[in-house]
């Protein structure tokens, strides 16, 4: 397996600058290189783009284990086993979900409304990466950028440069070997705060995908460029009295211990009615979790939390046994979680904040209403808009919980870390989870390739714009309704037309002075055509006949409409 520096040729600008030269110059060169590649890539067909995406995803899968090991070793956060799981979410689950998705060219045609939607790529994506999930986020952002016809420049976290640049090199090489222009995937090898700022503000940067701390997310939104950033995730999980407690506890442990709690959507505080306390503690104890006493809880609070209610960097993504030693006590090495019972939620209870490690809060209350209030308070204390979870067999309660919580991902009966990212649910597979306006984010979605295209709309003229003929249309509809015993409601207007597409088959009889007179319809709907087909007869129409779009489509399959007269009417429209 090649070492990182042995495959950096795919990212040539990183080699153009030695350590004495400013990283800002590297950024400028890389962005220009990726922009030049994009000016060619933007003209690729959907089929060409999809082939490149498949090749890049295959390369990511091939190298997923090696990249996971590099990320765990370099950052000191999490573990290689679970980082591999996250890499495969991005390299396998995501591309499978994107197959068949149209992102370029015609995306949708609404014939009834006369609207055609056309996807246009944005340009160069500036991707700011975190230290907690550096390789999986690099794979994910690169794949959605390429799928949407864009180029991408990755800016690694300073503590994850080697693993991120190696990931970028693997992806860039695969893209180019599959036919993508050289430079379509780039990476900043000497990333600094200054270089990241330059990347976000560069004139060639079209949009920013920012994942990281609140500071870098705020910087993305203040850069003057369109940006997708995410907020922190202080995730509450409500265990209802109707839940299967054993199943709930097992899933909570599974979700919270994934990569030692480094995902923002991992479980932070379990909330349940007091009547369930002994049963829940017994289930955690049976699965080897350690319940901290008052002294251990106080020690954890001192060691874990800052005055700003964030976690100390060296505590992120540590196994429970290591976290205990850091706080001054010991637990067995196979302990999955350290449990702390909370007496409240908010600033007076620092351990009720987000804890990106193997420490889990427990909060017991009187009833379901109090549980709802506690979960809502948890989200208000640093997790607005992100994710919440519930374990229940009462769907009415599940629905009530989802409606009330100020979070845009409410997952039921599955780990929040896995469910929110689409691993155990049908949510779109993503490593960037928007938190909506309540958190200052531009979207509440799981960010995907369609967020990285602009949609152009072709709009055909509608019935409202045809001037004097409008009154003729309304008159014809009134006469038709009167024949059938109905009336045109006050304020009603005729249906909008479809755009002028391929002409349906409308036959014209030969002109002859001996031809008997025919009854010309002034209005034809789909029911009229279907009845005519059943009766094996034609419907005669003239220049003033109103034919609904659905009637015209159905008639074209059966050659039912016959145009009277030797010449078409003035300004004949497909949708008249």
Domain range list for the chain: 4-13+28-100+122-230, 249-416, 463-563
Among this protein's residues, is 525 annotated catalytic?
no
Q: How confident is the model at residue 352 (pLDDT cuts 50, 70, 90)?
A: very high
Helix (H) or strand (E) holding 239: strand 235-239
**Is residue 444 pLDDT above 80, yes or no?**
yes
- Is a pLDDT exceeding 60 seen at residue 181? yes
Summarised one tens digit per residue, pLDDT across range 194-214 is 888 899 999 999 999 987 666
Q: For residues 92 and 151, is the Cβ–Cβ distance under 8 A?
A: no
Nearest residue to 133 via CA among 91, 176, 83, 177: 83
Three-state DSSP at 149 gives coil
Q: Are 411 and 202 in contact (CB under 8 A)?
A: no
- pLDDT tens per residue, range 254-277: 999 999 999 999 999 999 999 999
User: Considering the entire predicted model, what is its pTM?
Assistant: 0.77
pLDDT in tens, 141-158: 999 999 999 999 999 999
Which residues are CB-contacts of 170 (< 8 A; sequence separation ≥ 6)?
7, 59, 60, 63, 67
Highest mean pLDDT among 34-43, 204-213, 487-496: 34-43
Instruction: Tally Cβ neighbours within 10 Å of residue 97.
Output: 16
Please check whether residue 189 is in contact with residue 26, taking contact to mean a CB–CB distance below 8 angstroms. yes
pLDDT level of residue 516 (50, 70, 90 thresholds): low
Report pLDDT digits (tens) over 331-349: 999 999 999 999 999 999 9
Residue 510 pLDDT class (50, 70, 90 cuts) = very low
The CATH class that applies to domain 4-13+28-100+122-230 reads alpha beta
What's the confidence (pLDDT) of residue 572?
40
CA pair distance 76, 256, nearest whole angstrom: 18
Domain 249-416 CATH superfamily: Aldehyde Dehydrogenase; Chain A, domain 2 (3.40.309.10)
Question: In the prediction, which pLDDT does 571 show?
Answer: 39
Q: Is the pLDDT of residue 481 over 90?
A: no
CA nearest neighbour of 454 among 236, 286, 250, 226 = 226
Q: 264, 292, 388, 525: which is the annotated catalytic residue?
A: 264
More confident position, 448 or 522: 448
The pLDDT assigned to 528 comes to 86
**Count of CB atoms within 10 A of residue 489's CB?**
7
User: Hey, is 368 helix, strand or coil?
Assistant: helix
Q: How far is CA 343 from CA 177, 307, 349, 468, 552, in A?
A: 58, 19, 8, 73, 69
110 pLDDT exceeds 80? yes
Q: What is the average per-residue pLDDT within 351-366?
A: 97
Closest by Cα among 269, 441, 226 to 360 = 269
What one-character-per-residue DSSP string does 63-115 give?
HHHHHHHHHHHHH--S-HHHHHHHHHIIIIIHHHHHTT---SEEEEEETTTTE
- Which whole number is the average pLDDT over 395-413? 97
Mean of pLDDT over the chain: 86
> Three-class SS of residue 314?
helix
Residue among 203, 204, 172 at smallest CA distance from 189? 172
* Residue written as token pair 């519930």: 390
């Amino acid at each position: 397996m090649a070492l990182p520096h042995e495959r950096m040729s795919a990212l040539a600008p990183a080699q153009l600058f030695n350590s004495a030269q400013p990283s800002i110059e590297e950024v400028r060169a890389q962005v220009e290189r990726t922009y030049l590649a994009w000016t060619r890539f933007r003209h690729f067909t959907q089929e060409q783009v999809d082939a490149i995406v498949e090749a890049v995803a295959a390369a990511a899968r091939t190298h997923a284990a090696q990249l996971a090991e590099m990320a765990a070793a370099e950052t000191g956060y999490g573990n290689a086993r679970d980082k591999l799981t996250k890499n495969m979410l991005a390299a396998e689950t995501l591309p499978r979900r994107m197959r068949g998705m149209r992102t370029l060219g015609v995306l949708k045609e609404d014939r009834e409304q006369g609207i055609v939607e056309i996807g246009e790529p944005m340009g160069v994506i500036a991707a700011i990466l975190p230290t907690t999930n550096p390789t999986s986020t690099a794979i994910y952002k690169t794949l959605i950028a390429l799928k949407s016809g864009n180029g991408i420049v990755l800016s690694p976290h300073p503590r994850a440069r080697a693993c991120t640049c190696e990931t970028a090199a693997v992806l860039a090489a695969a893209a180019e070997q599959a036919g993508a222009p050289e430079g379509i995937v780039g990476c900043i090898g000497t990333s600094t705060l200054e270089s990241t700022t330059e990347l976000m503000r560069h004139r060639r940067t079209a949009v920013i995908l920012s994942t990281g701390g609140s500071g870098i997310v705020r910087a993305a939104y203040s850069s003057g460029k369109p940006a997708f950033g995410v907020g922190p995730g202080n995730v509450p999980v409500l265990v209802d009295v109707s839940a299967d407690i054993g199943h709930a506890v097992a899933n909570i442990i599974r979700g919270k211990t994934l990569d030692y709690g480094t995902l923002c959507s991992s479980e932070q505080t379990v909330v349940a009615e007091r009547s369930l306390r002994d049963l829940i503690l017994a289930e955690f104890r049976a699965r080897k979790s350690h319940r901290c006493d008052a002294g251990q809880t106080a020690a954890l609070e001192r060691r874990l939390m800052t005055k700003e209610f964030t976690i100390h960097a060296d505590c992120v993504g540590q196994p429970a046994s290591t976290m205990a030693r850091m706080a001054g006590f010991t637990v067995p090495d196979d302990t999955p979680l350290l449990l702390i019972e909370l007496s409240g939620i908010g600033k007076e209870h620092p351990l009720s904040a987000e804890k990106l490690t193997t420490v889990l809060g427990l909060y017991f209350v009187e009833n379901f209403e109090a549980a709802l209030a506690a979960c809502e308070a948890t989200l208000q204390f640093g997790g607005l808009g992100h994710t919440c979870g519930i374990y229940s067999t009462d769907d009415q309660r599940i629905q009530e919980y989802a409606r009330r919580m100020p979070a845009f991902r409410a997952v039921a009966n599955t780990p929040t870390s896995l469910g929110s990212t689409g691993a155990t649910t049908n949510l779109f597979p993503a490593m960037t989870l928007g938190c909506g306006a309540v958190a200052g984010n531009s979207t509440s979605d799981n960010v995907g390739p369609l967020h990285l295209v602009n949609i152009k709309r072709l709009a055909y003229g509608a019935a409202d714009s045809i001037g004097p003929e409008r009154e003729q249309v309304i008159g014809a509809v009134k006469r038709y309704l009167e024949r059938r015993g109905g009336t045109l409601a006050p304020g009603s207007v005729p249906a909008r037309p479809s755009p002028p597409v391929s002409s349906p088959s409308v036959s014209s009889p030969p002109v002859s002075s001996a031809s008997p007179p025919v009854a010309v319809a002034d209005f034809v709907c789909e029911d009229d055509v279907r009845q005519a087909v059943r009766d094996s007869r034609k419907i005669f129409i003239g220049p003033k006949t109103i034919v609904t779009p659905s009637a015209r489509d159905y008639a074209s399959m059966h050659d039912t409409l016959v145009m009277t007269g030797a010449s078409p009417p003035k300004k004949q429209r497909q949708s008249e």
